Each structure stands twice: as structure tokens, then as C-alpha cells.
């Protein structure tokens, strides 16, 4: 890129104006497509309550008819903009009709209700989400680093691997890591995955509704970075058929009671409640998950609910530390990479804290 | 580009001299157009004067900070006159300025917000950036406000333009990716009266300078690609003092009625080639039809739900094409709604 263009992109406006740019981000009609647009405001802005509502053309995103197209954006969480920097911000929003009703694809609204239920709030639910994703070449839907018209060597060398023949796309992963930390997201780590061209980042621990907000903005930042890098981001749970791992969004979870002495018993009771609602959870854990949850490639079969300590072939895995200390957290390994974190986190909280069994 | 060349372009002259560059060299700093000398150019090279009497005089009208040269350097928006002091035929600003200085218009403080759409084209073929050579991208749907290398083409230009305009002092209020891939929009406003036209023209100038740097071509054609692809418009949001006050919604409805009665005259002045764009499809109203509605993107004039709810506000004239002259459109709307009977 021309350095002249770079100079303009890097202009530090706080030297010449108190105006800031706010990029409003929302989830589109498919439930996994992210959209955004920017507006100028007077800064600095430190809290979502200082931000005005906005609106967008829902008829262009499959969320409203053309003759009544306005969908209203409510700002819910603010992050620093790693692309524009300065005092500029990213704003995670959810979508409502002009009458104030959440539109059907707005899963945050219901999640926020669950998280503000006194029984849930009292338990301070923590979430750590392991987001897996695949990088695809732009011109052909084939993973980066894979030979055109062919396959790389079988899985084995790639998990946490290094080297030009084992790690494909690390620049994107590392740029994303720093960008998220800059933005104020609780990104806790990254690693190369078992399938070459596949990576993972983790967000957490995050409390309640913020887990969903932070994961969606982390996904947005990731897609902006892949856009810059000229590669395509895929959250498909089984991007390549055959002896290749799928992509999940394992959700680690604990409540106050689970983190205290005697917590292991609470954990076992919670897992039992999840076992009784396996079908309902699976239905909400991401489209296409049946191609991924086969019982092979470190998954449990989609129709089976089983849990175990240190068992990566289980639906729920409890870490050895948790077993040893008698308290801690557990990992729901069922969600697909394209799950909606608002849905999954609130459902796990609802089933384990608000269910009656 | 060579780093040496880049260093020279970025020399901060204010450390060594009081001279500034205003696309010519003067003593600076200068913020007020009245402090700038008139100038002239060869009108026979721009189709604005005959060869044997080619001088056209430039009157400085608005000053902005130069985002390319930075320091104390400026960009000056001008309009053009004959040596005898008459506006040349292509000078639409002069007449607009007259409309905007009419006391009835001045007292109504007309505000404008213009949504400028534009398409980025590859430099060597007249085909949008990001589109495969000899083919088409997937159908419209994923691109509006989209993110990702397969959905957003040319964001660097858009973001560089946003900051450059804010730096220059233009009231740029936002940007978004548009429905057709390779098409984008920026909004200028709210701007009062004649400044809406000045700011939009300078924003267009800055945009074309940036696409020049990026090696892509800028198009304001209202229907760059035939078929099931959106056109490009310059929707014009408008309000007067009375519309912004209690009871303003009634004033708005009366204004819309006046616009309806002069639909043909407005359409004739709203940009060349608009008939290829205003088909009744792709979020437009048919060019021969005038209709208005709340939240209706298929109408000629759209009123926002907020305005309806609060009983005051503004409305959006969706008819102007992306290649419209903002001096013409803004002054015509003011004239029809405030000075018309």
C-alpha cells in the first residue's frame, strides 16, 4: 500500500478535533454475518449510555421488508477501535423494531433477561469460549496453505506447530491477538489447531452477557483483519469432509458455587441437568453441527450425551485440576464454531441455574 | 514508493517558512476566503472558454485544511467568472448563493445532509474493484455494511477519506459499505445553506485524490452496472427551522406537497442518466412517479420513523443521482419549499 494512503489512515485526529468515529457493529439476518457502519460523534465516549441509538436498512440484511425497512440499533458495549485508534471506538449493538421489540434474530435481548435474573446474577456465571475458525483462500474455497487441487499431509504436525510447512496464516492470528487486547477484549490465548489452516482464540473469563459481547466483537475484529490480509474467514463447523477436524466453540463455564469448596458436587449436578436437555441444547448449538459431532475427531456423537474427566471424546469434559481440587469449572464441547454465544451462554446458565429437577 | 520521495512529500514546511501552499504559494496561515487573491485559469482547456478569450477568473469561496500537504496548507473551493464579473454558464454556485441569501430562506436556516454514493472501478478495465475479470460476484445481499475480503472491496480508501475529511474540517457524519459490492457511501452534514455544496464538492475532490493514490478510478455514474445491481444516488436530507420545531411535521408535509408539484423540474436537474437508475426497483421510485412514505425506501421522498413519532424533524429526497450538483439540488429544494407558493 502506498505510504501516502497509510499516512491518511494513520492521521491522529485528536490533535485537530474533539470528534470521534464510532463504528456500530450488529449481527445480520443469517445469525452469523456481521455488519457495521460508522458515524461521527463528539468525544470522548466512555460508556454505551452516552451513545445515541441509530438505525439501518433492514431490507438489505434480510431483517425487514422494503416498505418498512428501519431497524433500530441499541448500543450495548464499547471497545477501542484497533484500526482507527485514537479515541475512536467499536460499539456492539443489538437490533429492535421502531416499536422497541427485539427483532427475531436478536438473541442478546433474551440472554440479557436471563443474566439479570436474581438467581443467575447471584451465581456470577463465568464463561471462557474457545473459538475455532478456518482461513480460506479468497478465490477458491480451500484452506490457506493447502495445495490447489490437493491436500496437505495428514493431521499430526499442525497442532501448535511452527514452520512454513505447518503453520498457515500466523500473521492474522497474531495481529488479531494484539488488536483484541488493545480493544479491551479479555482474549486469554491462541493456538494453531489440529487441521492445518485452522486456528483458535479464547475469550474469557467473562461474566454473564459480556461473554457474548466480547466474542462477537472479537469475531468482527478477526473478519476485518482477514479482509486486510485478503483471505476469507470461515466459521463452518466442518469445512473439509474426511479425516480432518471440524471447528467448535467449546464453552467453559463455572458459577460461584462451583468455584467454592464443594463445588465439584454442584458441577456434577449441573452436568446432569444438561444431560436431561441434550436435544434442546444441540438444536441451539449451531447449524451444520451434525457434520462435525460424529464421535470421531475429538467429538462425541451428536445423539449421545456423555461426560468425563480429561475426556476429549465426551460432550462435557471436566479438567483433572477441577477433579483434584474438588471445585472449578467444566467444558461444554458441543457448540459449533458458528454458534451464537448469546444463545449458548444464556442457555447453559438457564438450564443449570433456573431449571427445576 | 521510494522512502526518499515519501520524506519529501511529508516535509513539514511550517518549521522553516511562513509560506503555505494553496495549490499556489502564499504567505500563511489563512483561514478566511476573503484574504485570498482571485486567480484565473485557461478555460479553453476545460471546455469553459474559447481559445481566443480563454481567461476564466476564480473567486475563492471556502477554505479547508489540506490533508495531503498538512501543516498550514489549504484547499480552496472556488467558483468561476468571466473577466467582466459574470458567472460562467457552468457556475451553479452563484445562483445557489443568491437563493440562500434571500431573507425568507436565511430565516429558515435550511440544513442539509447529503448521502454521497460512489463506485470504485479498476483502473485498467471499467469494472468494479473486487469483481472477477470477465465475471460477476455473488448476488447482492452480503455486501451492505459487510465485512471480510469476500464482501468489502476498497475499505482503505473509505477510511482514509473519512479521516482526511475530518482533518480538513468537513462535516463528514458517517460512512458505510453499500448494497452493490465495490460501492460505498459517505455522508456530509448537517451543513447550512451554501456550505453543503462547498463541503460536498471538496469531499468529492479529496476522495478522487485518494483514489488516485490508491490506483483505482472513481465513478459517480448513477447506474454503473446494468442488471440486478443497485445504482448510486445522492439522497438529500433536508430540514428548516420550522420543520425542526413543534408542529414541524405539518410543515414537512406541506413542503413535500410543493416538491410533488414540481417533480418534473426537479428530476430534470437531479443528475444525468438518472433514468437508468430510477426504475422503481433496487430501492428507488420510478422516475415518472412521485410518492412519499414513512420508512419507505421505494419512495421518492422518505420520512424517518423518528420524525413521524416526534412530530418534527427532517425528510429525505431520494431522487438525486450520485452525479448531481449539490449547489443545484440544495438551492432548488430551498427555493421550491420556502420561496414557492
Can you give the pLDDT at residue B102? 98
Question: Would you put residue A352 in left (φ > 0), alpha (ψ -120 to 50) or beta?
Answer: alpha
Give contacts of A 94-113 with B, CB under 8 A. Answer: 98
Distance to chain A for B213, nearest Cα, Å? 7
Can you give the pLDDT at residue B49? 86
Categorize the per-residue pLDDT at B298 as very low, low, confident or very high, splitting at 50, 70 and 90. Answer: confident
Name the helix (H) or strand (E) containing A198. strand A198-207
Res B31 pLDDT > 50: yes
B149–A16 CB contact, under 8 Å: no
Rounded distance, CA A285 to CA A198, Å? Answer: 20
Categorize the per-residue pLDDT at B3 as very low, low, confident or very high, splitting at 50, 70 and 90. Answer: low
Can you give the pLDDT at residue B51? 84
Query: Looking at this predicted complex, what is its ipTM?
Result: 0.91
Res A131 pLDDT > 50: yes
Can you give the pLDDT at residue A2? 83
A226–B175 CB contact, under 8 Å: no
Can you give the pLDDT at residue A82? 97
Residue of B nearest to A21 (CA): B174
Give the mean model confidence (pLDDT) for residues B295-307.
88
Can you give the pLDDT at residue A355? 77
Minimum-distance CB partner of A61 among B10, B144, B298: B144
**Which residues from chain A sit within 8 angstroms of residue B309, using beta carbons?**
98
Distance to chain A for B171, nearest Cα, Å? 9
According to DSSP, residue B257 is labeled H
Q: Does A230 touch chain B (CB under 8 A)?
A: yes
Rounded distance, CA A172 to CA A177, Å? Answer: 9
B6–A5 CB contact, under 8 Å: no
| Lowest mean per-residue pLDDT among A180-189, B48-57, B185-194, B235-244 | B48-57
Burial (0-12, 13-18, 19+ Cβ within 10 Å), A103: middle
Minimum-distance CB partner of A35 among B146, B164, B175: B146
Give contacts of B 278-307 with A, CB under 8 A. Answer: 283, 293, 295-298, 304-305
Look up residue A302 and give its three cell numbers.
451428536
Q: Does A87 touch chain B (CB under 8 A)?
A: no
A62–B141 CB contact, under 8 Å: yes
Residue with cell 520521495: B5
Q: Does B166 touch chain A (CB under 8 A)?
A: yes
Percent of chain A residues past pLDDT 70, beyond the cut: 99
Short-list B150, B104, B141, CA closest to B336: B104
Give the mean model confidence (pLDDT) for residues A201-214.
98
**Which residues from chain B sit within 8 angstroms of residue A229, using beta carbons?**
149
Minimum-distance CB partner of A223 among B147, B161, B295: B147
Mean pLDDT for all residues in chain A:
95
Positive or negative: CA dihedral A80, B179, B159, A137 = positive
Can you give the pLDDT at residue B29? 75
Can you give the pLDDT at residue B284? 87
Res A182 pLDDT > 80: yes
Strand partners, B183: B119
Give the mean model confidence (pLDDT) for residues B255-269.
97
Minimum-distance CB partner of B149 among A9, A33, A226: A226
Res B110 pLDDT > 70: yes
For strand B216-219 and strand A126-137, is the pairing parallel, antiparallel, or unpaired?
unpaired
Q: Does A61 touch chain B (CB under 8 A)?
A: yes
Please, are residues B145 and A61 in contact by the beta-carbon 8 Å criterion? yes
Widest Cα–Cα separation across chain A: 65
Give the mean model confidence (pLDDT) for residues B98-124.
97
B6–A4 CB contact, under 8 Å: yes
Give contacts of B 181-220 with A, CB under 8 A. Answer: 210, 213-215
Please, are residues A38 and A73 in contact by the beta-carbon 8 Å criterion? no
Q: Does B147 touch chain A (CB under 8 A)?
A: yes
Q: Does A243 touch chain B (CB under 8 A)?
A: no
Burial (0-12, 13-18, 19+ Cβ within 10 Å), A166: middle
Minimum-distance CB partner of A60 among B144, B166, B175: B144
| Tens of pLDDT, residues A47-98 | 999 999 999 999 999 999 877 888 999 999 999 999 999 999 999 999 999 8
Minimum-distance CB partner of A40 among B150, B174, B304: B174
Categorize the per-residue pLDDT at A357 as very low, low, confident or very high, splitting at 50, 70 and 90. Answer: very low
Measured CA to CA in angstroms, residue B132 lies from A42, A70, B150, B153, B212 at distances of: 40, 32, 11, 12, 21
Minimum-distance CB partner of A57 among B144, B155, B166: B144
Q: Does B167 touch chain A (CB under 8 A)?
A: yes
Short-list B254, B257, B275, CA closest to B319: B275
| Tens of pLDDT, residues A249-266 | 999 999 999 999 999 999
Give the best residue of A13, A176, A227 to mutate against chain B (max B CB count within 10 A). Answer: A227
Give the mean model confidence (pLDDT) for residues B217-224.
97
Q: Phi first, then psi: give them for residue A226, nearest 5 degrees.
A: -65, -30
Question: Would you put residue B261 in left (φ > 0), alpha (ψ -120 to 50) or beta?
Answer: alpha
Residue of B nearest to A37 (CA): B176
Rounded distance, CA B13 to CA B66, Å? Answer: 13
Res B314 pLDDT > 90: yes
A83–B210 CB contact, under 8 Å: no
Res B11 pLDDT > 80: no
Rounded distance, CA A337 to CA A210, Å? Answer: 18
| Tens of pLDDT, residues A313-327 | 899 999 999 999 999
**Which residues from chain A sit within 8 angstroms of residue B173, using beta carbons?**
39-40
Amino acid at each position: 500500500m502506498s505510504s501516502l494512503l497509510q499516512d491518511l489512515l494513520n492521521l491522529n485526529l485528536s490533535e485537530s478535533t474533539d470528534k470521534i468515529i464510532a463504528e456500530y457493529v450488529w449481527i445480520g439476518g443469517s445469525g452469523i454475518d456481521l455488519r457495521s457502519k460508522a458515524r461521527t460523534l463528539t468525544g470522548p465516549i466512555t460508556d454505551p449510555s452516552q451513545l445515541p441509538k441509530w438505525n439501518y436498512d433492514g431490507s438489505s440484511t434480510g431483517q425487514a421488508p422494503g416498505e418498512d425497512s428501519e431497524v433500530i440499533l441499541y448500543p450495548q458495549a464499547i471497545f477501542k477501535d484497533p484500526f482507527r485508534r485514537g479515541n475512536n471506538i467499536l460499539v456492539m449493538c443489538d437490533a429492535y423494531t421502531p416499536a422497541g421489540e427485539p427483532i427475531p434474530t436478536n438473541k442478546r435481548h433474551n440472554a440479557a433477561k436471563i443474566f439479570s435474573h436474581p438467581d443467575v446474577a447471584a451465581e456470577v456465571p463465568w464463561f471462557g469460549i474457545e473459538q475455532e475458525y478456518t482461513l480460506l483462500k479468497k478465490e477458491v474455497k480451500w484452506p490457506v496453505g493447502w495445495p490447489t487441487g490437493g491436500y496437505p499431509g495428514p493431521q499430526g504436525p499442525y497442532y501448535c506447530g511452527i514452520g512454513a510447512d505447518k503453520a498457515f496464516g500466523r500473521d492474522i492470528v497474531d495481529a488479531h491477538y494484539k488488536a483484541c487486547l488493545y480493544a479491551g477484549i479479555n482474549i486469554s490465548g491462541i493456538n494453531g489447531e489440529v487441521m492445518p489452516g485452522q486456528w483458535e482464540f479464547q475469550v474469557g473469563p467473562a461474566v454473564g452477557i459480556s461473554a457474548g459481547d466480547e466474542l462477537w466483537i472479537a469475531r468482527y475484529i478477526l473478519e476485518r483483519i482477514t479482509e486486510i490480509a485478503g483471505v476469507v474467514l470461515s466459521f463452518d463447523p466442518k469445512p473439509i469432509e474426511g479425516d480432518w477436524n471440524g471447528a467448535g466453540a467449546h464453552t467453559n463455564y463455572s458459577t460461584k458455587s462451583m468455584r467454592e469448596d464443594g463445588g465439584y458436587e454442584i458441577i456434577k449436578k449441573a452436568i446432569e441437568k444438561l444431560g436431561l436437555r441434550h436435544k434442546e441444547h444441540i438444536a441451539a448449538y449451531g447449524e451444520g453441527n451434525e457434520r462435525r459431532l460424529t464421535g470421531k475427531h475429538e467429538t462425541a456423537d451428536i445423539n449421545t450425551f456423555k461426560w468425563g474427566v480429561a475426556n476429549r471424546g465426551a460432550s462435557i469434559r471436566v479438567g483433572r485440576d477441577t477433579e483434584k481440587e474438588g471445585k472449578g469449572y467444566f467444558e461444554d464441547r458441543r457448540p459449533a464454531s458458528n454458534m451464537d454465544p448469546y444463545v449458548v451462554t444464556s442457555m447453559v446458565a438457564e438450564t443449570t441455574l433456573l431449571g427445576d429437577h
